Structure 1
Amino acid sequence: MSQINISVIGTSATRGCFELVKLENLEQICNVSIDQYQSSMISIMSEPIVKNVTISDNIKGWDKQVINMDFKKELFKNLEIQKPHFIVVDFIADILYGVLNVGHTSVTNNKNKLSLVQFHEDVEIFNIHTHKDEYLTRWYAATKQFLIKVKEILPNTKVIIHSARFVNSYYDENNFLKSFQRNDLQSKNKYLEQMEEMIMNEDVTFINLSKSKYHSSSNHKWKKNIVNYETRYYHDFLLEFLCFIIKEQNKLTGK
């Protein structure tokens, strides 16, 4: 099997599936050439923000890279360059963050990363909790536009929707199962289900592991979190992903 070129558009829920799996020679099988991290679909399909904003010099490294990707909106330019075989998308950022409407554009409202960003015009918080129906309508329009654009510039590229879900429990340092003690996760997962139902008839493939129960872990490389999963999840996802790829290659070769 030749190396598979992958682009990831999503959060640690999907990134971990390719970075944290201890599978021998995985890097020879899969190459993640683009990681559009923690960007809302609404932000991705908005205009670049190039003025009336000051990004502090104190933002360094990865955080600065994530902000620049979200603000510059160069995803399609990068996709045309990299020409991935598969684009794997999750919608966690659309639920966790929503967007800030800034003038005639929008940026992902990741408060931790925007704490050192100053906007020089009025901003409006716009998310599924403050504007449910309007947000879902705008999200669907952006997602539909995204899929049309991908098909236009990369007609042979397959889009896979990772049906990531928020987990409500984790294994502590002694391997005891504990709750995150949050009462908002079920409603967040319902929103994710609703979003996926809205695009069910689009030309996408879903990988959904929600029929099985998974948890987070205090031993997670990126710390326990409602979208940082136990190792078993990443292995199960990758197995589903590779099985899909094999089926696709068999179609092309007539096997």
Structure 2
Amino acid sequence: MNRIKVAVIGSCASRDNFNHHFVPNYKDFFKCVVSQNQMSMISLMADPIPFHADHVTGDVSNYAKLHFTTELEKSVLYNLLINDPDYVILDFYADIFYGAREINQSLITNKVWQFKKINIYKNFEIGKAISIPKEEQSILKAWTLKREERTFMRVWKNNVDRFVRWMQEQLPNCKIVINQSRFTNAYYDEDKGEICRITDKLNHHYDLDRLNRIWSEMDAYVIEKYGVRSIAFGDKKYLADPNNPWGLFYLHFEHAHYLDFRDKFLKIVVDDLLENQKKRKRMETCSVNLIKNSTFNYGKKYWTYWQDTFMIQQNRTKSNSVSLTRKNLQQDANCQIWSNAVELNADGTAAYTVSFDVRITDVSQVDGEQAIFAIRLYNKPNDIFQKDAVAFHYLTIQQFKIKNNEWTRCSFTFTPTEGRFIKVGAYLFRNGTVAWRNIQLEKGRYATPWKPGYREAQ
């Protein structure tokens, strides 16, 4: 039997179930194809936020930088489409603990304490928070607390509804499973030899009972309205583990929690297999353009390593083009621009197709290696150079029937077997006058007509 493909959008209480340090044999049953850290449903369904991806720096880990860029791009939706999971596991920790923050007429998860350490954060217009206060409140502030809770839940329900509808339309064979883990405030202190409170240890003043109550209401809303599955732990209580690799926290549980989750999730999978004896037909294509800003209507945003030799041309159509002219060069100059990194499935079973329009003023002037487009695969999203690529490929003028000064649609299909991220881009080794437009990357073996990226205006 093939392993069950699982996507996770949630906290450590969900993602760590697919980590061999917590569940050593999880790969015997599951293949985790998408793992999105702590993203609010409100952020997930908000509009993508254009940004310059070059030189993202800051006094945070690379994992935190990647988290921030995924918050801006909303790329988890692409990752779900690309990987076509059997199940997506959700928990609403990010919503209940952080909420959302207005930013550039859109929204991200309100982890401002971390995101503000990243250099590009200062480039955005930051607005108000939409969140539930975590701290204990006085009786006098109870009415304010209830009002903020109602405001948050109204926004949250609207976006959860949008996500479920999106799943029903785009991934109808993928089942949603709600992880009903809850905050614990107890751990065993070996030095004291007794059960202690985490809030005392961490000097927090969180009202965890109230947060757990609201969390239960959120779970119940989705489970009851849409009839989705859930992993519930009943009356069983788990201690937090002070020796957890991520540290002592309200969702970093003792080992028994993760084994119970595994067994309960396996029960769901087995029940589904028994109910559906016939293997469902998987979607082989993903008719979504994975390239952000392929119209160049956002200028240089969503593109990296932009060289000034490239110029954006305003066309009469709704899609602009980029062009460059290089003459009389005696050696290669390697003119190039690259799309933002797109996460992909490189297990050797999924095919991808890149397509683009190209116009060359005089084909005979394209010399050097005669390449007009490039593809590179990387293990890290911020890598850019060929020396760092695990695989690369150049498309040349010989591969296509290109006539002088006419737009020609070109496409190329490939099945990657290595790398975690892909970048594609216009490329010219040496001389030529070339223009590109309508660049598209999609999952599947055939090029479909060009369309803007998902939720991008044409």
- The match for 2:132 is 128
| Within-5 A mapping of 1:227-238 | 227-238=251-262
RMSD: 2.1
Residues 220 and 229, structure 1, Cα contact 8 Å, conserved in 2: yes
Residues 206-246 of structure 1 deviation map (CA, whole Å, 9 limit, x = unaligned): 11114101110111121110011111001001100001100
- The match for 1:78 is 79
Q: After TM superposition, give the deviation of residue 122 of structure 1 in Å.
A: 4.0
- Partners in 2 of 1:187 and 1:53 — Cα distance? 39
Residues 14 and 91, structure 2, Cα contact 8 Å, conserved in 1: yes
Question: Cα–Cα, structure 1 residues 142 and 230, in superposed 2: closer, same or farther, change >3 Å?
Answer: same
Q: Which moved more, 1:94-103 or 1:194-203?
A: 194-203
Residues 160 and 204, structure 1, Cα contact 8 Å, conserved in 2: yes
Is it true that 1:113 corresponds to 2:98 in the alignment?
no
Give the structure-2-normalised TM-score: 0.52
Residues 43 and 70, structure 1, Cα contact 8 Å, conserved in 2: yes
Residues 10 and 36, structure 1, Cα contact 8 Å, conserved in 2: yes
- The match for 2:198 is 180
- Partners in 2 of 1:124 and 1:218 — Cα distance? 35
- The match for 2:220 is 197
Give the structure-1-normalised TM-score: 0.92
Residues 97 and 132, structure 2, Cα contact 8 Å, conserved in 1: no
Residues 172 and 219, structure 1, Cα contact 8 Å, conserved in 2: no
Matched to 2:196, the amino acid is K
Matched to 2:249, the amino acid is N
Could you tell me the percent identity over the aligned residues? 26
Larger Rg: 2
The alignment of Structure 1 onto Structure 2 pairs a total of residues equal to 253
Question: Cα–Cα, structure 1 residues 100 and 54, in superposed 2: closer, same or farther, change >3 Å?
Answer: farther
Residues 36-94 of structure 1 deviation map (CA, whole Å, 9 limit, x = unaligned): 11100000000011159998512441111111111111222111110000000000000
Residues 55 and 118, structure 1, Cα contact 8 Å, conserved in 2: no
Q: Which has the higher contact order (CA 8 A, sep 6+)?
A: 1
- The match for 1:50 is 50
When you count helix as a share of all residues, which structure comes out higher? Answer: 1
Give the unaligned 5+ runs of structure 1: none
Q: Which moved more, 1:49-58 or 1:27-36?
A: 49-58
Q: After TM superposition, give the deviation of residue 152 of structure 1 in Å.
A: 0.8
Is it true that 1:165 corresponds to 2:182 in the alignment?
yes
2:271 to 237, 247, 253: 247
- The match for 1:9 is 9
When you count strand as a share of all residues, which structure comes out higher? Answer: 2
Question: Cα–Cα, structure 1 residues 29 and 50, in superposed 2: closer, same or farther, change >3 Å?
Answer: same
- Partners in 2 of 1:21 and 1:93 — Cα distance? 21
Residues 4 and 29, structure 2, Cα contact 8 Å, conserved in 1: yes
Residues 186 and 195, structure 2, Cα contact 8 Å, conserved in 1: yes
Residues 173 and 219, structure 1, Cα contact 8 Å, conserved in 2: no
Matched to 2:33, the amino acid is S
Matched to 1:69, the amino acid is T
Q: After TM superposition, give the deviation of residue 112 of structure 1 in Å.
A: 3.5
Residues 4 and 30, structure 1, Cα contact 8 Å, conserved in 2: yes
Matched to 1:204, the amino acid is V
- The match for 2:296 is none
Q: Which moved more, 1:99-108 or 1:80-89?
A: 99-108
Is it true that 1:141 corresponds to 2:158 in the alignment?
yes
Question: Cα–Cα, structure 1 residues 76 and 203, in superposed 2: closer, same or farther, change >3 Å?
Answer: farther
SS at match of 2:270: helix
